[in-house]
Amino acid sequence: MFLANCANRGRPSGGDKDLIPPKIIKSEPENFSTNFSGKEIKITFDEFVKLNNIQKQLIISPPMDPAPEILPLGSASKSITIKIKDTLEANTTYAFNFGNSIVDNSEGNPYPYYRFVFSTGEYIDSLSVKGNIIDATLLKPDDYVSVMLYEIDSTYTDSTIYKKKPKYITNTLDSTTTFSIDNIKAGKYKLIALKDENQDSKYQQRSDKIGYLDQPITVPKDTLYTIKLFKEVADTKIVNPRLISGEKIAFGFEGDYENMKINITSEIPDDFSYSVTKDAKTDSLYYWYKPRFKDTDSLLFQVTNNNYSENFKVRISEQPRDSLIVKVAPTGSINFEEDFIITANIPFVRRSNEKIKIFDKDSLKVDFKTKYDSLSNNYSLIFDKTENNRYNIQILPKAITDFFDNKNDTLIYSISTKSYADYGNVRVQLQNAKYPVIVQLTDEKGNVKVEQFVWKNEPIDFKHITPSKYYLRVIHDTNKNKKFDSGNFLKQQQPEQISYYPEIVEVRSNFDYTIDFTLL
């Protein structure tokens, strides 16, 4: 009895974890069948399977419209059934690329990259187009990039990709940047890549990234193609202008806003005035006006921007005005290269520098200059800073007057500088550069932390950099407009080239770095 009571208590372990993927027992018809004319395909496995993330994983080439019904959905079964609803083209090879969507029900082991292929003709097309995807601005392109072939025939135009699905399609899935479009026939094609956000196999400028080769390709050809993905700047457009508070109209926009002109075409009084600012976070321009219109319920506007022009009627009503809210940045700590920014939710119209004062920790007055950005509606206070110092910024009453004649109360802010030794310095020396260029340090997501525009061959110094890991990249500014210009498919314009330094730049405090970057 003593020995029996000493036995270990607990549940059985159940043995080793199942790591074996499901196996296909049979398919009806068989894979790679020819002269297919049916409406249903059934694939049977040796165990219960389910479909995982089928919306992204499954690629049907050529696409079918309407799409076939794939079963089971949300449950497990020992078979997958494909019910075809489209009228299939004659003498065409079709491929169902399941990716890693087929998994066993018990452990989720995938049947990797399963493809079911059949032909409505006498033979299976066997040609392929292969290559890789890169991103115009990022080190690594997005996952699930669709790569498409549009047949160049009498019906093809550059607008086809907006309206029709491609002849053939594949997907890079989530673990690779390479692609292979298989089982295609010989011909001439336009090669397109899309980060297809709504998965409709058509290009949507607002949501999708696109990449393309300048010239059509001919199949067969033993070539590996590289496609560069980019996000087009949306066509200029105003969207849904509306009154959102007293004498404040929001003009939502797409595309370029810096050259947008908003002109009122309604009759206006002699003392009418207006101001335009941009929302810091959203794609909206705010049109501020005064005085209030009391005898009308709508205002007429014409908005123009280069080749864009559109008229709008905006309904107005009596609503309360916004109250003045002043914000500043940075707070707490300020870098030696930073300016102190004062901004507000209502446009500034006047400021009094005599009522703005800066004192250091020894109560010594600090001289400063100001710069005003009307569209962003902010004042920059520009002043020299020393290490380990504290600066008190006093904005006295009535120093700032806004569009509606509101004035500030007393505002006091305190910011500090660190030691020079708390930062690192980076010097970049470029080889083989064609100037001008824009040199940037970014984070891993591509957000720009610091940048310099460079006209000639000289060392580029980034001083007082916060210790962190950075990516160094160079924009080849071919049109000399001091910014990155993306591509445009209809204009057959590729994005400006960006070169990434191959190593991560790890900036440490109290270190000076010199980077020699040879551009290819």
Determine contact, residues 194/172, Cβ cutoff 8 Å. Answer: no
Encode 441-469: b = buried (16+ Cβ within 10 Å), e = exposed. Answer: bbeeeeeeebbeebeeeeebebebbeeee
Q: How confident is the model at residue 4 (pLDDT cuts 50, 70, 90)?
A: very low
Residue 54: pLDDT over 80:
yes
If you average pLDDT over residues 133-151, what whole number do you get? 94
- Domain coordinates of the chain in residue numbers? 24-119, 127-229, 237-315, 326-418, 422-518
Q: Which CATH number does the domain 422-518 belong to among 3.30.420.40, 3.40.50.2300, 1.20.1050.10, 2.60.40.10?
A: 2.60.40.10
> What is the pLDDT, as a whole number, of residue 112?
86
For 81-125, the pLDDT digits (tens) are 999 999 999 999 999 999 889 999 988 899 988 999 999 999 999
> What is the pLDDT, as a whole number, of residue 21?
87
Q: What percent of the chain has pLDDT over 90?
A: 87
Residues across the chain: 520
Q: How confident is the model at residue 294 (pLDDT cuts 50, 70, 90)?
A: confident
Residues 6+ positions from 246 with CB-CB distance below 8 Å:
292, 318, 319, 320, 321, 322
Q: Which CATH number does the domain 237-315 belong to among 3.30.70.120, 2.60.40.1220, 3.40.640.10, 3.40.50.300?
A: 2.60.40.1220
Look at residues 203, 81, 223, 218 and name the one whose alpha carbon lies nearest to residue 146. Answer: 203
Structure-token pair, residue 493: 């314009």
Dist CA 398 CA 277 (whole Å): 22
Q: Which CATH number does the domain 24-119 belong to among 3.10.50.40, 2.60.40.1220, 3.40.50.300, 2.60.120.1090?
A: 2.60.40.1220
Dist CA 360 CA 366 (whole Å): 7
For 9-18, the pLDDT digits (tens) are 444 555 556 6
> Is-same-fold flag (326-418; 422-518)?
yes
Q: How confident is the model at residue 1 (pLDDT cuts 50, 70, 90)?
A: very low
Residue 468: pLDDT over 70:
yes
